[in-house]
Amino acid sequence: MADNGPPIRARSFLSLDDAPLKTLLLPFDDGALPWPAQGAIAFLRARDGWALRQYPLQALGCEQGFKPLADGLRAGGLDVRPRLDDAAAAALVLVLPPRQRDEAQALLARAVALAAPGARVVAAVANDEGAKSRERDLRQLAGLAGTLAKFHCRVFWTPPLHGTHDPALLQRWRHADAPRPILEGRYASRPGVFAWDRIDPASALLAAHLPADLRGHGADLGAGWGYLADEVLARAPQVTALDLYEAEARALELARANLARHEGRALLSFHWHDVAAGLPRDGYDFIVSNPPFHAHDRGDRPELGQRFIEVAAHALRPGGRLLLVANRHLPYEAALARAFATRRVLAEDGGFKVIEGVKA
């Protein structure tokens, strides 16, 4: 087991004041809606928080594909899976739709499909994340029985559902975020994952400056839908194994498909994993990374990138190399200086910098 230093606890990724979650529970707080006395409750894009803990949660099933948030829910004793069974029928469906339109519409369609006869769908969105648009979507799909605004968010809910939704629209929206070919068919991707329909310019800059002499067993921290790992395998023929670590389950599924062409060329492994919690192994010959610097709520979190650097340093063998790309303004130099004996900037362009660190 690798010694990765002190982990960032899963709950640290949860806002202490989660406004959309508080707003989602408002209709139950003020008595506008009853909390089901029996039957399953489904919570899509679930997050934990004190507002949720005011209610009996024994029947709650949580769907969360982002590993830090899933770990937080699991640490709180809740039942959580990357995806709930589509055949399940819930007496109540709670939803925190994401910002991206296609993904949000697909999630609302799944919520309506999961609702048992007579059940309601209740959704909440921050105003600056598209609350009015998502409210309009749910009204179009299944009708609305109520709406409330508070905490710079909106919560809205359907009447009891008895098959009165628009079935054609539901079917269309359920496939709105389906995987599809991008970049002339070179890759598959889907709405909602990071840089879903393009090559992120930071990753492209790192790919262009990957040393061709990378060899042995490497890792990609924050692998996304697999672009950077694909470039490593294409540009460095002496790489024999590559481990992909990605916190978003939807992106990791795409990476698995996008790297299938390299089967037999190198040993590949795919890990749904929170890199900030440390890696399960060490001794890597090299690590590549385009680390995140935003949390799930889009707030700036430069400490995430700093933590990726620390984790990479612990997981590399002596003499191992980290190839990192970052926004030029991010304060990573101190973390690199603490962790790596030598450091050099390989490239700077478009507001990004590519840095190589070599472990002592």
| One-character DSSP codes across 117-176 | EEEEEEEEEEGGGTHHHHHHHHHHHH--SEEEEETTEEEEEPPPPSS-S-HHHHHHHHTT
Residues 180-358, CATH architecture: 3-Layer(aba) Sandwich (3.40)
Whole-model pTM above 0.85?
yes
**For the segment 65-81, what is each residue's pLDDT rounded down to a tens digit?**
999 999 999 999 999 99
Over residues 44-50, mean pLDDT: 96
**For the segment 223-250, what is each residue's pLDDT rounded down to a tens digit?**
999 999 999 999 999 999 999 999 999 9
**For the segment 65-121, what is each residue's pLDDT rounded down to a tens digit?**
999 999 999 999 999 999 999 888 999 999 999 999 999 999 999 999 999 999 999
**For the segment 118-151, what is each residue's pLDDT rounded down to a tens digit?**
999 999 999 999 999 999 999 999 999 999 999 9
Instruction: Identify the CA nearest to 239 among candidates 336, 321, 340, 344.
Output: 321
Q: Which helix (H) or strand (E) holds 44?
A: strand 41-44
- Determine contact, residues 142/164, Cβ cutoff 8 Å: yes
CA distance 225 to 10: 23
CA distance 68 to 15: 12
Work out the percent of the chain whose per-residue pLDDT is above 90: 85
**CA end-to-end span of the chain:** 20
Instruction: Identify the CA nearest to 28 among candidates 4, 60, 73, 70.
Output: 60
Q: Which helix (H) or strand (E) holds 304?
A: helix 302-315
Whole-number pLDDT of residue 59 = 96
Q: Can you identify the CATH homologous superfamily of domain 10-174? A: Vaccinia Virus protein VP39 (3.40.50.150)
Q: Is the per-residue pLDDT at 4 higher than 50?
A: no
* Average pLDDT, rounded, for the chain: 92
Is there a common fold for 10-174 and 180-358?
A: yes
Cα 306 vs. chain centroid, distance in angstroms? 19
Whole-number pLDDT of residue 295 = 58
**For the segment 323-360, what is each residue's pLDDT rounded down to a tens digit?**
999 988 877 888 899 999 999 999 999 899 999 999 98
Whole-number pLDDT of residue 296 = 56
Q: Is the per-residue pLDDT at 6 higher than 70?
A: no
Domain boundaries of the chain, sorted by first residue = 10-174, 180-358
Identity at 166, one-letter amino acid code: D
Q: What is the torsional sign of CA 143, 149, 153, 155?
A: negative
- Hey, what are 219's tokens? 């890792």
